[in-house]
Structure 1
């Protein structure tokens, strides 16, 4: 019998928290449910979960601040934010604070399950491809850092995820809609704007190697040339 994967759920709305907890447990996950950010931080430190599902608006410590604190200790654990906020700037802020995915309320449990499994699958992929050469850079996928001439350039989680998929399709077009659905969950306007922001950030971080380009193929997507 396989070991149950431990998930930390931080949700201050009692009814929603119970529904999510019970639904995940019926899928054979072990769920630790906390009702505020401070309690969730303590549970993270003592119970060592393998994935976090964090509500953004919580008492004592909100989801963004909680994720930022957790990233000081663990840069790899997958984090999914739950929130009613849906503006592009809110989505970007979530990823900048260390989130791997962002689910807007109201959501279906099936969608949450799919995203949890997708993130857990990416963790396994990362473990098999730790360092990826990109031109003069070495891209450490696990540590989410670019190294060039002994200089270390730290990436956010979303930057690392996006760069990984660009490298997997280097010198070929990375379809815009496909990658939006895979990393953002939807190819709507706000998510597309968010991805454009992260592409711009990656271009700036890769500019030390003039042989590397991320070009926009209008109407199709992006291409990493190196």
Structure 2
């Protein structure tokens, strides 16, 4: 099965980079690779891979600095740090710089593949052309956009993930914790204010009046819910 997923392998150990890249290619992933931190930053920002496997200790620029740099530049896809640093303090440090997940060297290749499979299954938007509808708006998650009145409205990757989760769970109360798991891919220490900020931005794109949201409603003390199809039909009749 061609998963049509691109993975960037950034590792300065030539042997390990070859082994990881070769294994991922046999699993039908598209692989791009490099061995230097400065080169990695350019490659990731120009190619926008779905997943980045990033070594911590790199020439040119450390992996943690690469992670910080590409996050600041707007890269929102999955970053898995590969490192021999196994202390909790190192992991906390990595997460604070925007790493999605962490695998400690030496690692079992099957475990790495299983971790990637998990990310692809739950956190990478599906390749097939799904279309979701609400009101007079179409959501095309595959291309991170909305269509309303014949006009295309671009969504960021995070807005896209948030909206997709709501449209797959219309009428259900969704906690902030569940949303953060969906959006960032782990039980994160990301401040809930950061999540709320993304919801505010999303509302500006989907609501007629973002200050009085009709579709994406706040559930006080819990999180959010997206209006159900039944409610929408009742309001229209």
With normalisation by structure 2, the TM-score equals 0.60
CA distance in 2, matches of 1:190, 1:153: 27
Q: Quick one: higher RCO (CA 8 Å, sep 6+), 1 or 2?
A: 1
Cα displacement string for residues 49-94 of structure 1 (whole angstroms, at most 9, x for unaligned residues): 974315498748945776899x8xxxxxx9422464544xx54xxx
CA distance in 1, matches of 2:94, 2:215: 33
Tell me what 1:97 maps to. Answer: none
Cα displacement string for residues 179-219 of structure 1 (whole angstroms, at most 9, x for unaligned residues): 32233233344253332221111111112377733222234
CA distance in 2, matches of 1:65, 1:129: 32
Alpha carbons 1:53, 1:81 under 8 Å: kept: yes
Structure 2 portions without partners, runs of 5+:
82-92, 233-237
CA distance in 2, matches of 1:168, 1:108: 38
Number of equivalenced pairs: 204
CA RMSD of aligned residues (A): 4.7
Seen in structure 2, the aligned counterparts of structure 1 residues 8 and 204 have a Cα distance that, compared at 3 Å, is same
* Structure of greater Rg: 2
Seen in structure 2, the aligned counterparts of structure 1 residues 193 and 41 have a Cα distance that, compared at 3 Å, is same
Tell me what 1:218 maps to. Answer: 220
Tell me what 1:38 maps to. Answer: 39
For residues 180-195 of structure 1, the aligned pairs below 5 Å read: 180-195=180-195
With normalisation by structure 1, the TM-score equals 0.62
CA distance in 1, matches of 2:55, 2:205: 28
Cα displacement string for residues 153-187 of structure 1 (whole angstroms, at most 9, x for unaligned residues): 11111111111000011122123333322332333
CA distance in 1, matches of 2:80, 2:146: 29
